[in-house]
């Protein structure tokens, strides 16, 4: 896909699903709105899930209803407790609460089994002994009808006996399945006698070895909704073709309620893959350092990268809820991150690639404290004191020996402002045997304390710095997109589009001492560089910071010029 823009943003927080809910309430079709977020615990949640979470929990909040968290745990071979725990943590972190409404499809295995027998008794389901490939071949195509299974007309008694034997473990995996008896000639392939139960001799994280047959997604989902009294079962567009089956099952089973399914467009982000299966592959094959690697589009990765949950909620709100699929520009996400952090993140000074600057006329052994503003966007954030001394670190690329036109930072014989401190002039450039600049010898003007000259003279450049004697060394991790294409896999091979340089490690950065205090993992702004947060790999004698995002905002620029 080449179009990279957001769906029309929801106006005043309204969208077609909220309209449906409002109408159902107004018409009295529904008394209390009940939604659910139904993740399969086969991986960690990603930012696409955040859209579904915000929609389901958001609607429940706005309309005074409730939202359930339900684990769709019907495939024990792929599901793990680790994922169940991580999903709960991530939903809470995003700012939502399911209260006592935590459920599992596996809570309903007995009921679902009973309903399967009910269908058999009504002649609406049968046991099929065909091999998987025979079943596939008989299913037909979009243009050709399917063929009836030779086992389709088994008697109710035989079907019941076989189904019970399946449950009792008499048959190996794949030997038989239970299928709904609907219509092999249906134009909708989902109605061509879909599988309702399969044999799977696998231990389940919750039900252990009690079951060796498991319901399919289609058989579990709508019925679970009905059991919980869900009124609006909101899912993504790929389930649209499953809706007739959803409705067929609800109609033919003695369920306690009649939920309705509604579909909306998934969130797709440029340069990003959102499929747990693929994200798991990245983790398993070691392309990233784990599910919470800050390069991952997972909620845990974004958290570790320093992205605040409010940002994700706001981004999802701006993307809106539409019925047509689209791909959202990454710059729109970045913009939301910067916008919030610009307002909230404390400013600090940090030098990523240090170059020594010595002030020759600053007395040896002397030091002082200078006052620095914590956040120019937030007067209440106050000020702090930063140490200053004779030896400082400045950013290597804030100096050029032979500056081109337009470079206003430090250069031989040039004067610049050290932020919050003094004017300094470069007097001498010291090089090593290889000819590399290793130190700058400067002078300062004591009259310019605080950053202004009493004689009114101006300097064009202001650079940041850290006092060498008090600086704290740190490792800085810079992240770049995981993929080199806006549409990863667009040329056929997803793995070939992995960006080999998505992680850049800068060791030996120098930070102002305030950054070593405390252990908050909230993002701060490194002045002139971007937003960074302390990584949990930090310890008592090791500091690691992640770059959340750089300062440059191409989205805001494009918006302004467009």
Give residues in contact with ligand ATP (CB under 6 A).
Answer: 38-40, 48-49, 51-52, 72, 235-236, 266-267, 274-277
Q: Which is nearer to ligand ATP, 56 or 462 (CB)?
A: 56
Shortest gap between Cβ of 264 and ligand ATP (angstroms)? 7
Q: Which two tokens stand for residue 417?
A: 């402002």
| 506 closest CA partner among 350, 342, 398 | 350
User: Is 557 a known active-site residue?
Assistant: no
Among candidate residues 51, 70, 276, 338, the one labeled active-site is: 276
State residue 418 phi and psi, 5-degree precision. Answer: -90, 120
Q: What is the DSSP letter of 238?
A: G
Catalytic residue at 371?
A: no
Question: Least Å distance between CB 306 and ligand ATP?
Answer: 22
What does 414 bind: Mg ion, ligand ATP, none (CB cut-off 5 to 8 Å by kind)? none
Q: Which stretch binds Mg ion (CB under 5 A): 11-19, 40-48, 245-253, 341-349?
A: 40-48
- Rounded Cα distance between 32 and 29, Å, is 9
- What is the pairing mode between strands 66-71 and 34-37? parallel
Q: Is 281 helix (H, G, I), strand (E, B) or coil?
A: helix
| Min dist. Cβ of residue 48 to ligand ATP (A) | 2
Residues pairing with 104 in the sheet: 71
The distance of closest approach from Cβ of residue 273 to Mg ion in the complex, given in angstroms and rounded to an integer, is: 15
Q: Is 62 in the site for Mg ion (CB under 5 A)?
A: no
Cβ pair 392, 466 in contact under 8 A: yes
Q: Which is nearer to Mg ion, 239 or 531 (CB)?
A: 239
| 430, two tokens | 């010291």
Task: Pick the closer one to ligand ATP by CB: 233 or 548.
Answer: 233
- Residues binding Mg ion: number (CB under 5 A): 1
Helix H or strand E encompassing 253: none
CB of 263 to ligand ATP, least distance (A): 9
Lookup result for tokens 């099952």: 249
Residue 308 interaction partner, one of Mg ion, ligand ATP, none, beta carbon < 5-8 Å per kind: none
Q: Nearest Cα to 33, choosing from 23, 25, 43, 41?
A: 25
Active site residue 240: no
Closest distance of CB 104 from Mg ion, Å: 15
- DSSP calls for 451-508: S--TT----S-EE-EEETTT-EEEEEEEE--SBSSSSTTTTS-TGGGB-TTSEEEEEE
Stretch in the footprint of Mg ion (CB under 5 A) among 34-42, 76-84, 243-251, 415-423? 34-42
Q: Among the options 89, 147, 152, 266, which is catalytic?
A: 266
In the bound state with ligand ATP, the residue whose beta carbon lies nearer, of 314 and 475, is 314
Closest CA to 97 of 66, 135, 143: 66
Task: Decide if residue 40 touches Mg ion (CB under 5 A).
Answer: yes
Bridge-partner residues for 441, per DSSP? 358, 428
Our CB check for ligand ATP shows the closer of 267 and 468 to be 267
Query: Looking at the annotation, which residues are catalytic?
Result: 40, 266, 276
Residues within the interface to Mg ion (CB under 5 A): 40
């Amino acid at each position: 896909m080449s179009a990279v823009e957001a769906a029309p943003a929801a106006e005043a927080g309204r969208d077609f699903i909220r309209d449906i809910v409002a109408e159902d309430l107004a018409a009295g079709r529904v008394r209390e709105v009940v939604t659910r977020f139904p993740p399969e615990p086969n991986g960690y949640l990603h930012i696409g899930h955040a859209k579904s979470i915000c929609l389901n929990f958001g609607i429940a909040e706005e309309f005074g209803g409730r939202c359930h968290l339900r684990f769709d745990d019907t495939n024990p071979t792929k599901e793990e407790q680790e994922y169940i725990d991580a999903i709960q943590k991530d939903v809470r972190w995003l700012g939502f609460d399911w209260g006592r409404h935590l459920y599992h499809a596996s809570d309903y295995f007995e009921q679902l089994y009973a309903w399967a027998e009910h269908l058999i008794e009504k002649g609406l389901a049968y046991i099929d002994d065909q091999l998987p490939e025979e079943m596939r071949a008989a299913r037909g195509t979009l243009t050709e009808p399917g063929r009836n299974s030779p086992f389709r007309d088994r008697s109710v008694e035989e079907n019941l006996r076989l189904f019970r034997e399946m449950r009792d473990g008499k048959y190996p995996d794949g030997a038989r399945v239970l299928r709904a008896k609907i219509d092999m000639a249906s134009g909708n392939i989902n109605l061509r006698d879909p599988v309702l139960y399969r044999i799977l001799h696998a231990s389940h994280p919750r039900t252990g070895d009690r079951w060796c047959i498991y319901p399919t997604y289609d058989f579990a989902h709508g019925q679970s909704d009905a059991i919980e009294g869900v009124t609006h079962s909101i899912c993504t567009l790929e389930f649209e073709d499953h809706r007739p089956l959803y409705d067929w099952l609800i109609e033919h089973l003695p369920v306690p309620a009649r939920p309705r399914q509604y579909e909306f467009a998934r969130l797709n982000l440029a340069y990003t893959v959102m499929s747990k299966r693929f994200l798991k592959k990245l983790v398993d094959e070691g392309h990233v350092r784990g599910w919470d690697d800050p390069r991952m589009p997972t909620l845990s990765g974004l958290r570790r990268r320093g992205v605040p949950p409010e940002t994700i909620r706001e981004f999802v709100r701006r993307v809106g809820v539409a019925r047509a699929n689209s791909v959202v520009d990454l710059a729109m996400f970045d913009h939301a991150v910067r916008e919030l952090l610009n307002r909230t993140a404390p400013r600090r000074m940090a030098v990523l690639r240090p170059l020594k600057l010595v002030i020759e006329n600053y007395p040896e052994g002397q030091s002082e404290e200078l006052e620095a503003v914590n956040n120019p966007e937030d007067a209440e954030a106050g000020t702090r004191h930063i140490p200053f001394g004779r030896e400082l670190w400045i950013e290597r690329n804030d100096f050029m020996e032979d500056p081109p036109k337009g470079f206003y930072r430090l250069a031989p014989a040039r004067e610049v402002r050290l932020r919050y401190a003094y004017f300094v002039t470069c007097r001498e450039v010291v090089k090593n045997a290889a000819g590399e600049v290793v130190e700058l010898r400067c002078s300062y003007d004591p009259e310019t304390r605080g950053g202004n000259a009493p004689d009114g003279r101006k300097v064009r450049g202001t650079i940041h710095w850290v006092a060498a004697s008090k600086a704290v060394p740190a490792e800085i991790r810079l992240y770049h997109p995981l993929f080199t294409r806006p549409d990863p896999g667009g040329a056929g091979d997803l793995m070939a589009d992995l960006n080999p340089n998505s992680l850049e490690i800068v060791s030996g950065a120098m930070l102002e001492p305030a950054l070593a205090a405390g252990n908050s993992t909230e993002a701060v702004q490194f002045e002139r560089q971007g937003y960074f947060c302390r990584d949990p790999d930090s310890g008592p004698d090791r500091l690691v910071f992640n770059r959340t995002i750089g300062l440059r905002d191409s989205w805001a620029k494009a918006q302004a010029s467009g």
